[in-house]
Structure 1
Amino acid sequence: MARLKLLIAEDDVVIAQNLSLSLEEMGYEVCQTVSTGEELLLSVHQHTPDLVILDITLEGKLDGIDTAAMLAKSTRVPFIFMTAFSDKETIDRAKQTNPHAYLVKPFDARTLQSSIELAIHNAGTRQRQPEAHMITPSQAVATEIDETDNFLLHDTLFVKVRNRLEKVALEDIIWIEAQDIYCNIKTRTGLYLVSQSLKNLEQRLPPSQFMRVHRSYIVHLTAIEAIEDNNILIGGKQIPIGNTHKDALLKRLQIL
């Protein structure tokens, strides 16, 4: 029988290594350990784990609860929260994502294995009784923008970061890159991961400022620094120009 494949998200390197060793000793396969929610969301689609174990406190812009909420929207991969916090506010936030089990640090090997078995059992029960709110990755691509995640208002994009909405001016966005069913939005000062497809974002951005130049990229036209061969140069990054977009792009530029 194939071993269960687990993915760990923990920002403490020592804890992550010890947890990985413990799980391997129990007979599980640890496909990867990551320290941020952004890495976890990308790794899930690369490794297709049977279970995710994630700390509620993570590095990056997404905490464990935000990450789990995005994971639940696009996959059926079960997940276990682990945390040193057991206060009511944290528990209440975590409960909204319907975790398959919950571990409070510190925990021993027996508690860990029991939680994994419980999570796998709960996942099987939920799959036999599909929930109406669950969507597949392909459906997520076509899903309209979630009002609790991202808001577009005139010249401003609001992006959910942990438990608040951060305002991002459209003029500060320099490029957007598709990452499976998610997108990276690069601004002049930072990088945001949002649970929207590139197609959805393209439809909501003003075409006078933004243009799709590749199946995986949208660029802010005024941020283009140079075009070299079949690449756009923006902020030290080379963005490929798709063959189907090249003529339309050149028509938008004033070439002397």
Structure 2
Amino acid sequence: MKKILIVEDEHELALNIQEILINLEYDVVGIFNNAIDVLDYFIDGSADLILMDVLIQGDLDGIDLCYKLKDKLNIPIVFLTAYSDKSILERISKIMYDGYLLKPFTIESLRSAIFLGLEKLKENENTKQISSTKNTLKIRDKGFLVPVPIYDILFLKADGLYTKVFARSKTYLIRDILKDVLGDLPHTTFVRVHKSYMVNVQHISSFNSKELQIDEYTIPIRRGFYKELHKLTDAK
């Protein structure tokens, strides 16, 4: 079931949209009316598509929020707005968005906009599956695209809407949340041992029920993961 996040200033309308989406067999993972709560949600949360109102509460409107999200997340965004004046349309046209619905909209137009947005997501996922078979993780560093060998990566750590990649020779910062980076790495080698950490099991030197050791780094593991980690390391 695809997950949809609603960002809408009018609470009653947001609840109506939620009811429609549930009837269309989508999972509504949250309803927010401001940018700060949305950004906080994506520190560890996820969604397959965002329905974004243009005028929301706070200093950032929906268009500004879209800029921030698109800079860090590869996620379809469909705008919802009651305004069609030229200034708003010009601002929207300058960013990468995946649909636009003028209020009031019909159930069919909403269904179509979501379908088309999710089709773009499917294309992105297919691209990730292809890239995950490669022997390197391509990281943009100071304007250059650096192919970092998979084996040289020790572990990855969540850093808000970014991810730190700890390699043997250098630490990189990439503009993706940890969960999204997982799709670019071989699942037989990398495992998420904690909500903030993903490790290369080939580099684990020791571990107990609470933490593991990779070189000089001590990394916590989630509760109950000890037995599973035993199996993974035995397989190596």
User: Under a length normalisation based on structure 2, what TM-score does the superposition of the two structures give?
Assistant: 0.53
Other-structure match for 1:79: 77
8 Å CA contact 1:56, 1:81 repeated in 2: yes
Q: Cα RMSD between the aligned structures?
A: 2.8
Residues 1:124 and 1:7: Cα distance change in structure 2 (over 3 Å): same
Q: Identify the residue that residue 39 of structure 2 maps to in structure 1.
A: 41
Q: Deviations over 1:47-70 (max 9, x none)?
A: 210111110000011100000000
How much does 1:113 deviate?
0.5
Match of residue 222 from structure 1? none
Q: Deviations over 1:144-176 (max 9, x none)?
A: 9xxxxxxxxxxxxxxxxxxxxxxxxxxxxxxxx
**Closer/same/farther in 2, CA of residues 115 and 60 from structure 1, 3 Å limit:** same
Residue matched to 2:104: 106
Structure 1 unaligned runs (5+)? 131-138, 145-178, 183-195, 197-256
In structure 2, the CA distance between the partners of 1:127 and 1:89, relative to structure 1 (3 Å rule), is: farther
How far apart, CA to CA, are the structure 1 residues paired with 2:15 and 2:42? 19
Q: Secondary structure at the match of 1:47?
A: coil
Structure 1 residue 122, shift from structure 2 partner:
2.7
Compared with structure 1, are the counterparts of its residues 71 and 13 closer, same or farther at alpha carbon in structure 2 (3 Å cutoff)?
same
Match of 2:118 among 120, 127, 138: 120
**Native 8 Å contact 2:42 2:161 kept in 1:** no
* One-letter code aligned to 1:42: D
Specify the code of the residue in structure 2 equivalent to 1:10. Answer: E
**1:54 and 2:52 matched:** yes
Deviation at 1:86, TM superposition (A): 1.1
Out of 18, 21, 39, the residue aligned to residue 20 of structure 1 is 18
The count of corresponding residues between Structure 1 and Structure 2 is 140
- The residue that corresponds to 2:219 in the other structure is none
Residue 228 of structure 2 is matched in structure 1 by none
Partner residue of 1:188? none
CA contact (8 A) 2:43 2:161 kept: no
Unaligned 5+ residue runs, structure 2?
129-138, 144-158, 163-174, 176-236
Deviation at 1:98, TM superposition (A): 1.2
The aligned residue for residue 30 of structure 1 is 28
Distance 1:39 1:124 in 2: 27
C-alpha contact 1:100 1:123 (8 A) present in aligned 2: no
Residue aligned with 1:30, SS: strand
Q: Could you tell me how far 1:45 is from its partner in structure 2?
A: 3.2
CA gap of 1:19–1:143, structure 2 versus 1, over 3 A, is: farther
Give 1:240-255 correspondences, 5 Å limit: none
Q: CA deviation at 1:124?
A: 3.5
Residue 180 of structure 1, CA deviation: 1.4
Q: Distance in 1 between matches of 2:113 and 2:43?
A: 23
| Structure 1 SS opposite 2:101 | strand
Letter in 1 for 2:87: E
Counterpart residue identity of residue 38, structure 1:
I
2:160 maps to what in 1?
180
1:109 & 1:44 partners in 2: Cα distance? 27
